[in-house]
Structure 1
Amino acid sequence: MHPVLEQVTAQIRERSKALRQNYLDRLDRDANEAPDRARLSCGNLAHGFAACQESDKQTLKLMDSVNVGIVTAYNDMLSAHQPYQGYPDIIKEALRELGSTGQVAGATPAMCDGVTQGQAGMELSLLSRDHIAQSTAVALSHQMFDAALLLGICDKIVPGLLIGALRFGHLPAMFVPAGPMPTGLANKEKLRIRQLYAQGEVGRDALLEAESASYHSAGTCTFYGTANSNQMVLEAMGLQLPGSSFVNPGTELRDALTRYTAQHITKISGKSKNFRPLGRVVDERAVVNGIVALLASGGSTNHTIHLTAMARAAGIIISWEDMDKLSRVTPLLAKVYPNGSADINHFHAAGGTGALFTELLSNGLMHGDALTTWGENFADFCVEPKLEHGQIQWSPAPKTSLDDSVIGAVAKPFDPEGGLRQLDGNIGRAVIKISAVAPEHRIVKAPAVVFDSQHALEARFKAGELNKDCVVVVRYQGPKANGMPELHKLTPFLGVLQDKGFAVALVTDGRMSGASGKVPAAIHVSPEAASGGWIGRIQDGDLIEVDATKGTLQVHIDELEFSQRIQASAPIEDDNCGRDLFAATRALLSSAETGATFLFDEATALNALQSATE
């Protein structure tokens, strides 16, 4: 085991000791006190199975069968979640074959950042994660279930489902993926058209044609954004079947994996001899494995927020510093757009998660002894599923990459370090994704150009006012300010400036997510402007230095002058698109570095982190 991996895991375990023990005690209490079906009143039980078919009712009355609660994020507007429409029927039929039953316990919202990008609805996106957690808890609160299957795949949905399910961590739970859409227009070509459109060189018709060719069918988007990063992290944490993340929807193998998962979870329920409650599977080792897999694959910066909140739901406190330490010893082993030209289907064909995990485990960079929902432990996850005569068979994953331009080796990585860094300085703390940023662009020192929204930048760009070295500062985009929307409307404009030869960077208390690209972006700045963070004191012309190599984020002015500056006023936001309904929730959100959540108190995490550094 790599000594830094051991050290970080031990530090997480030590700082989380009291909170984790409290969680495990509650888990055991819930397991002993929760009314299983045998303890429900006859009226409770009758209500619980009134709509079931007769054979399922008879099975449920026996009390010794496994009843699986299905929580689904199905809707037919979003490509990633549309395949889930038929999953409940597949799951129920597979369970009946074993004398067990399944019920759709509830549904959660599932919104798409791709649809709301640059629109008012994006300000509800991050907030939806905690509401998904709450709706998952509502679904499972009927306590009719011996296990749970979670049907969700995209940005906020997976973290929300896991946070909610961990409150019922005395039950086993597994995720059931739906897979990515087949490859469409190459991602680099899509980016080229976007930049041409930003410069006014092609029209909206050309842009729409390119976007439609990219996002063209059911399944997740094929670039390596938050949705596909979710799948990588879930596998690394042992929460879904190995090799199952990136099998395309609508295939025989995809349906067979769904059936297999449905039947497998009965084998790890409390009615089996191999009980694997979710709250025991998600421990410090699983969390570290998830972080390492994210770093080695150049995954989404959103997980600097989501993993923090997910871990906290299991009584575990992690920090950006933990991620930074692990990133410095975890080599970048995957080149998937925006870190390379390949898409996620190419990654899967090159050996996928099995090849990546094999390489990391063999070099002591993952916890092979971590408990998982399948196999003995995580060391068993270096396999891939095959379909033989309609049945899933497991074969060893490729020991080496089948395409070394997509999946590398520790001995010959694409970068000696992982994709994420923490930045610290007089502006605050931030994170930066460097896996797609060329080394020559990782240090930018230039005057600030300050905006209060991503929309305000477009006019100045088109007027030619940004044709210079500059650090674009976009403030009042944090959790409390407006729900922390992603700011991808900035990406084409900043990319054009960089292509023109200007030194350009972004500093914001907002998000850029998994599609963060070639322009260095110091994001999630904490404290945010709305909480009095000093990012709200930066003025046009201030000299700012973003140094991803040293890990610093500085404004080069006199410290006394900076401290005495008056905070810029927050912009007045419209409350259209339902944003007014979330005003009270926004006010409760914690900082980005503690998970941007209203579900857990921020003080507990900050106190634990502070005591760990003293």
Structure 2
Amino acid sequence: MNPKLVEITERVRARSATTRARYLSRLAAAPAVTSRSELSCTNLAHGFAASPVQDKLVIRELRRPNLAIVTAYNDMLSAHQPLRDYPEWIKDAAREAGATAQVAGGVPAMCDGVTQGQPGMELSLFSRDVIAMATAVSLSHNMFDAGLYLGVCDKIVPGLLIGALSFGHLPAVFVPAGPMPSGLSNSEKAKVRQLHAAGQLGADALLDAESKAYHSAGTCTFYGTANSNQMLMEVMGLHLPGSAFVPPGTALRRAMTCAAAKRAAEITRQGDSYTPVGEMIDERSIVNAIVGLLATGGSTNHTLHLVAIARAAGIEINWSDFDELSAVVPLIARVYPNGGADVNQFHAAGGMAFVIRELLAAGLMHEEVKTVVGVGLSRYAKVPQLTAAGELVWVDSKPESSDLDVLAPVAKPFSADGGLRLLQGNIGRAVIKVSAVKAEHRVVEAPARVFSSQNEVMAAASRGELDRDVVVVVRFQGPQANGMPELHKLTPTLANIQDKGFKVALVTDGRMSGASGKVPAAIHVTPEAVAGGAIGRLQDGDRIRLDANSGTLTVDLPDSEFSVRSAAVGQLAANQYGMGRELFGVFRNSVGGAEQGAGVFDTIH
């Protein structure tokens, strides 16, 4: 094992000793046989009233497992549209295994791609915790022995997992849908967006290009948060091996969905391999997840989500853990925005099986972890396939990458480090993803232009005011201010400034997520402006230095001057109402900081 991996794992374990023990003690207090044994006859009758006759007989006898299906299905999200048919497949498969399954509940599933730059984006991060609570409500009827969680995208999988961990005595199997077929390449899409941002291409041409990129059922094909979620479910052992990127609408996808249901039944208390998710996800699983994120250049959103997931299991991690692991974990995948390939090309080149095998062989992942298919992460270095007779089997994956431009061995990585850095200095703590940032752009020192919204930035850019070396500061974008929306609209605008030969960087207490690209961006700055963070004291003309190599983010002012400055006051009244935002005031008032996972409930204590 890599000594730094061992050191950080032990540090996380020591840091979390009290809270993890408290969490596990709560799991030990769960019913010893099946939750349904706690129900009265009236309760139970209500619980199976609508079930088919044979299912009623199985549920009432209490001896065989009843599986909860918690689904994020809706047919507006391309990634979730394939989930429509899953419940009936799962119910049939459960019956074949001598079990039953019921749709326990649905959770909301919004699409950040639709809400980017819109008021609804201010609900996006909070939707994760709404989903966690909706998952808990779904499971609260005490009818179930395991959960099958149907979800794919951004906040949805983290929310489902946080909710599942609140019922940590139940086994959990996550069931994905897979990516849409490749359309317009991500690099071509980015070029079109930049041309539109520069005023050189009309809206019709932009919409045509976007429609060619996002054109079918399935997950978007760039390596953003949705596909990073699927990677994480693999390395944390919550999928059946090889599930992440099997396309929807295929025989293999259906077979794996059915197999997930059967496996869920096997790992209940009534089976021979009881695997409660709260025990399965431990400090080693969380460290493996961070390593997977770094090795593949995954979404910066997971510097929030993984923290919140870990806390839901009584485990405390922080950005220093990410930073120190990044120094020893090599980047072995090039998938847009870190490269030109999409996730279909990543999967074809060897995908998750290759990544896991390489990292295990290099001592960069814990092997002896629990998974839904048993102890040992090496099980995930195999790939699923259907035999000629239609039987689902797992076989050894190819020993080498079939496309060295997309997947590289640990011995010859694309980068010696994982490309995710902690920045700290007198402006605060922030994270930066540099895996897509060229070396010559990783240090920027320039005067600041300070804004309170991304629309203000775009207006200034259209007037030519940013055509110079500049550090663009966008504050009052943190979770307490307005729910911490992603600022994707800035990506083509700032890229155009960089392409003109100017030094440009972004500093914000908001998010950029999986689309963080070639412009250096210090994101998630904490403390945020509305909480009294130093970013609120920055002024136009302040000389800011963002140095991703040394891990510093500073303003060139003596502390005696900077610390006594009055903080700016955010004009937040417009963020309080409209598009449902008035319903989320309680979230804005109670949310934690970015490095604590930006959650609205404190699961660590």
Asked if these proteins are the same fold (TM beyond 0.5), I'd say yes
Q: Distance in 2 between matches of 1:576 and 1:424?
A: 35
Q: Distance in 2 between matches of 1:547 and 1:241?
A: 41
Do structure 1's residue 149 and structure 2's residue 151 form an aligned pair? no
Cα shift at 1:35 = 6.5
Tell me the alpha carbon deviations over residues 204-247 of structure 1, each in whole angstroms, 9 at most, x when there is no partner.
Answer: 00000000000001111000000000000111000111111001
- Read off the aligned partner of 1:600 and give its amino acid letter: D
Aligned to 1:609: none
Counting only pairs closer than 5 Å after superposition, residues 60-71 of structure 1 correspond to structure 2 as 60-71=59-70
Aligned to 1:235: 234
The structure-2 alpha-carbon separation of the partners of 1:379 and 1:35, relative to structure 1 and needing over 3 Å to count, comes to closer
What secondary structure, in the 3-state scheme, does the structure 1 residue paired with 2:30 have?
helix
Aligned to 2:515: 515
What secondary structure, in the 3-state scheme, does the structure 2 residue paired with 1:30 have?
coil
What secondary structure, in the 3-state scheme, does the structure 2 residue paired with 1:273 have?
coil
What secondary structure, in the 3-state scheme, does the structure 1 residue paired with 2:374 have?
coil
Do structure 1's residue 118 and structure 2's residue 117 form an aligned pair? yes
CA contact (8 A) 2:311 2:603 kept: no
Cα shift at 1:445 = 0.4
Aligned to 2:23: 23
CA contact (8 A) 1:4 1:326 kept: yes
Tell me the alpha carbon deviations over residues 561-608 of structure 1, each in whole angstroms, 9 at most, x when there is no partner.
Answer: 100100001113421101011012111000000000011178x6xxxx
Aligned to 1:345: 344
Q: Distance in 2 between matches of 1:272 and 1:255?
A: 23
Unaligned runs of 5+ in 2: none
Do structure 1's residue 455 and structure 2's residue 455 form an aligned pair? yes
Q: Distance in 2 between matches of 1:358 and 1:192?
A: 35
Structure 1 stretches of 4+ with a deviation exceeding 2 A read: none
Q: Distance in 1 between matches of 2:363 and 2:342?
A: 27
Aligned to 1:382: 381
- Read off the aligned partner of 2:291 and give its amino acid letter: V
Aligned to 2:8: 8
Tell me the alpha carbon deviations over residues 256-307 of structure 1, each in whole angstroms, 9 at most, x when there is no partner.
Answer: 1000100011111111121110001100010011100000000000000000
Aligned to 1:531: 531
How many aligned positions are there?
602
Aligned to 2:214: 215
Aligned to 1:336: 335
Q: Distance in 1 between matches of 2:188 and 2:60?
A: 58
Percentage of matched positions with identical amino acids: 59
Q: Distance in 2 between matches of 1:31 and 1:13?
A: 27
What secondary structure, in the 3-state scheme, does the structure 2 residue paired with 1:393 have?
strand
CA contact (8 A) 2:34 2:145 kept: no
Aligned to 2:36: 37
Could you tell me which of 587, 590, 595 is aligned with 1:588?
A: 590
- Read off the aligned partner of 1:581 and give its amino acid letter: L
Q: Distance in 1 between matches of 2:60 and 2:523?
A: 54
Aligned to 2:434: 434
CA contact (8 A) 2:34 2:62 kept: no
CA contact (8 A) 1:589 1:598 kept: yes
Could you tell me which of 575, 578, 603 is aligned with 1:576?
A: 578
What secondary structure, in the 3-state scheme, does the structure 2 residue paired with 1:523 have?
strand
Aligned to 1:567: 567
CA contact (8 A) 1:474 1:507 kept: yes
What secondary structure, in the 3-state scheme, does the structure 2 residue paired with 1:456 have?
helix
CA contact (8 A) 2:124 2:485 kept: yes
Q: Distance in 2 between matches of 1:375 and 1:250?
A: 28
Q: Distance in 2 between matches of 1:434 and 1:306?
A: 19
CA contact (8 A) 1:338 1:516 kept: yes
Tell me the alpha carbon deviations over residues 472-491 of structure 1, each in whole angstroms, 9 at most, x when there is no partner.
Answer: 00000000000000000100
Cα shift at 1:419 = 2.3
Aligned to 1:612: none
Aligned to 1:392: 392
Counting only pairs closer than 5 Å after superposition, residues 392-431 of structure 1 correspond to structure 2 as 392-431=392-431
Tell me the alpha carbon deviations over residues 50-101 of structure 1, each in whole angstroms, 9 at most, x when there is no partner.
Answer: 0101111111122111100000000011101111111000000011112210
Counting only pairs closer than 5 Å after superposition, residues 229-378 of structure 1 correspond to structure 2 as 229-378=228-377
Aligned to 2:501: 501
Aligned to 1:169: 168
Cα shift at 1:458 = 1.2
- Read off the aligned partner of 2:229 and give its amino acid letter: N
Q: Distance in 2 between matches of 1:421 and 1:572?
A: 30
CA contact (8 A) 1:299 1:419 kept: no
Aligned to 1:611: none
CA contact (8 A) 2:4 2:328 kept: yes
Cα shift at 1:381 = 1.3
Aligned to 2:77: 78
Cα shift at 1:36 = 2.0
- Read off the aligned partner of 1:599 and give its amino acid letter: F
Aligned to 2:192: 193
Q: Distance in 1 between matches of 2:595 and 2:191?
A: 33
What secondary structure, in the 3-state scheme, does the structure 2 residue paired with 1:38 have?
helix
- Read off the aligned partner of 2:403 and give its amino acid letter: D
Structure 1 window deviating more from structure 2 (481-490 vs 576-585): it is 576-585
Aligned to 1:557: 557
Cα shift at 1:558 = 1.6
- Read off the aligned partner of 2:321 and give its amino acid letter: D
Q: Distance in 2 between matches of 1:247 and 1:219?
A: 10
Q: What is the TM-score when the length of structure 2 is the normalising length?
A: 0.98
Q: Distance in 2 between matches of 1:38 and 1:600?
A: 30
